[in-house]
Chains A and B, each alone.
Chain A
Amino acid sequence: MKRNLAPMYLLVSLAFGAILPVFYKQPYFYFASYIVLQYVALSVAWNLLGGYGGYLNFGTSAFFGVGAYVSAYLFNSLGIPEVIAILAAGAVSALFGVLIGYSSLRLRGVYFAIATLAATTLVQSIVLNTPALGSAVGLYIRFPAAPAIYGNLIELLFVAMFGISVVSIGLSYWIENSWIGRGLMALRDDEQAAETLGVPTFRLKLYANVLSGFLMGVVGSLYPLYIGYIEPYSIFDLGISFNVFVMTFIGGIGTWQGPIIGALVLGSIQQAASVTVTSQYNLAVVAAAMLVFGIFSPGGLKGIFSRLFGKRSTGTVN
């Protein structure tokens, strides 16, 4: 019964997002919400492998950055339409996921985590040494014309990011309740046992990594349009990867609701705080929050809600 309603929820949410800017005009709201939604989508994507499979990706910014640079290059230098540039960005980022996956997903989870850190350095170095991508100087993006229905570009970007988040959430919900999700959770809890019982562990991890990479790439592809200028140090910043990891962790890792809750709560706090404190302290607060949750409530906010309302949490990494 509940599952039959899922597509309807999806459509209603999408319609809500698309219509909102027509009625509500407040540029700063869209400017801030875009970033929060970006983190919702990134965290949901991260959770696919990190939450269900227990393989922690510390290279979110690499996938995000690959998406950003591919779309910026295609759109800026070659004049390719945005929609195609966005899909191409997702595709290249997914391919990147295949490469990292083949290199390290056969090993223990710790090695995958380290490999993703190294992969971030590698893509950053490639961009730094490629003049066509602006090297260390960066790339300025020509803004496209604002569409007729929405007053300005930021509203369109908000609608697009809203749509990406909703679709990612839908995918994540579907995966959690399908054989892929069950297989991933089985290998997270005991990889050897799962393998013995016939779960194609490596293939599942690779699928999750590729899908997660695709979504992160798509999210990243919009960022140049939002920010107008990209350069390798801020795009491939460890802070982005860290934020995504912490948001998922604090929200409730390994559940489809967890990353949404975490990204909405922490993302909103960060947006509010960014007006008052420096980004350095911002990151420190996030790190401290994560340690507190890691020690006292590994199930995250979702785990606390579930305990309060008497439901059993779906599971955590621990």
Chain B
Amino acid sequence: MALDLLLESIATGLLIGGFYAALSVGLTISFGLIDIANVAHPAFIILGAYFALALSQTFGIDPIIAGLLLVAPFYVIGNALYLFYSNTFERRGESSLAGLVLFFGLLILLEVGMATQFGVGLKALYSAYGSVAVSFGPLLLPLRFVYSFVAGVAAVIALELFLSRTFRGRAIRAVAQDAQAVSLMGAKPETIRLIAMGVSIATAGLAGGLVLAVGPISPYQDRLLIGRVFAVVVLGGSGSVVGALLGGIVLGISENIATIYLGAGWSLAVSAVILLLVLALRPSGILRR
């Protein structure tokens, strides 16, 4: 029986890992590729979740579809955010530290904005599959996690293809490797960063839909996600999209195993421990290049 429980928690952990990957891919792009430590990334995800809730309730659509609809507007928000950041902070040099000032401030403003606009209580969307589980061999898996896993993996594959196959995606990786060389080739690193930040925040829109599909939302929920997304990003090696998927799966499974053996109260500590350990022992992540 105990083995069944372990197997099931590993399987669910795997599914949650895909969900975590969706929450973190955007951050691995901004943090790892264009050196913007966007601590407000989870706050944008929760903002996306509230927008997805409004969309789902108004048009009666699925939260994941709502998340997909948010990709375009969030891309624009990301562009605007980058323009603001580069005109105020980045130009002064030592960008990533000065940026923390902006993004920490933004995190608080977004939280307060959501708390006053949507109320501090929990809000949930009851979808048709919210409490349905599918049996997979001997395992019983919650359908909402299956869907969010599929969406997360699809997002990772799409972004990996974008970064490795398209001209713009390759340009983003080029800027990450050597911005000066890129500008010597006649391209503007700023324009490429603008695109990258747009993509990063666009994933937060989709992730918001997934958060809503998985469970109830609240304005300060981003604080439960900060440690997790950074743990996933650092674990996978910041800048690596596929690493985010692996990191997410490692975190998802570890959290679930910790929940069985130590109790649910410890699940938040898992990401913190993983983050601190990876920083101490292997700061370049599990996929060292």
Residues of A within 8 A of B (CB): 54, 56, 58, 100, 102-104, 107-111, 113-115, 117-119, 121-122, 124-126, 128-129, 238-239, 242, 245-246, 249, 280-281, 283-284, 286-288, 290-291, 294-295, 298, 317-318
Contacts and interface: CB of A to CB of B under 8 A. Distances in A.
Interface of B: 31, 37, 39, 88-89, 92-94, 96-98, 100-102, 104-106, 108-109, 112-113, 115-116, 223, 226-227, 230-231, 234, 263, 265-266, 268-269, 271-273, 275-277, 279-280, 283
A280 B119 CA distance: 12
Nearest to A238: B223
B108 A121 contact: no
Nearest to A242: B108
Nearest to B223: A238
A37 B113 CA distance: 29
Most interface-central of B88, B226, B268, B279 (chain A CB within 10 A):
B279
Given A115-B279, A281-B116, A318-B98, 6 more contacts: A107-B279, A113-B39, A117-B39, A121-B227, A125-B272, A294-B101
A291 B87 CA distance: 13
10 contacts: A54-B97, A109-B97, A110-B31, A117-B39, A238-B223, A242-B104, A249-B101, A283-B108, A284-B112, A287-B105
Nearest to A293: B101
Contacts of B100: 56, 58, 110, 113
A272 B94 CA distance: 36
A121 B272 CA distance: 7
A106 to B, nearest CB: 8
Contact of A114 (B89, B98, B109, B230): B230
A286 B88 CA distance: 18
Given A249-B101, A284-B109, A284-B112, A121 B268 contact: yes
Contacts of A287: 105-106, 108-109, 112
Contacts of A108: 96
Contacts of A246: 105
Interface of B is mostly: helix
A121 B101 CA distance: 20
B121 to A, nearest CB: 14
Nearest to A237: B223
A125 to B, nearest CB: 4
B37 A114 contact: yes
Given A118-B272, A317-B97, A58 B104 contact: yes
Contacts of B230: 114, 117-118
Given A102-B280, A118-B275, A318-B93, A280 B104 contact: no
Contacts of B277: 103
Contacts of A107: 279, 283
A249 B98 CA distance: 11
A103 to B, nearest CB: 4
A124 B226 CA distance: 14
Given A122-B272, A280-B112, A290 B101 contact: yes
A119 B102 contact: no
A227 to B, nearest CB: 21
A280 B283 CA distance: 36
A228 B280 CA distance: 37
Contacts of B271: 118, 121
Contacts of A121: 226-227, 268-269, 271-272
A60 to B, nearest CB: 12
A294 B105 contact: yes
A288 B97 contact: no
A66 B254 CA distance: 26
B28 to A, nearest CB: 13
A111 B279 contact: yes
A129 B266 contact: yes
A108 B265 CA distance: 31
Nearest to A282: B112
Contacts of A317: 94, 97-98
Nearest to B226: A117
Contacts of B88: 294-295
Contacts of B279: 103-104, 107, 111, 114-115
A29 B192 CA distance: 54
Contacts of B227: 117-118, 121
Contacts of A114: 37, 39, 230, 234, 275, 279
Contacts of A286: 108
B94 A318 contact: yes
Contact of B276 (A103, A124, A128, A283): A103
Contacts of A284: 108-109, 112-113
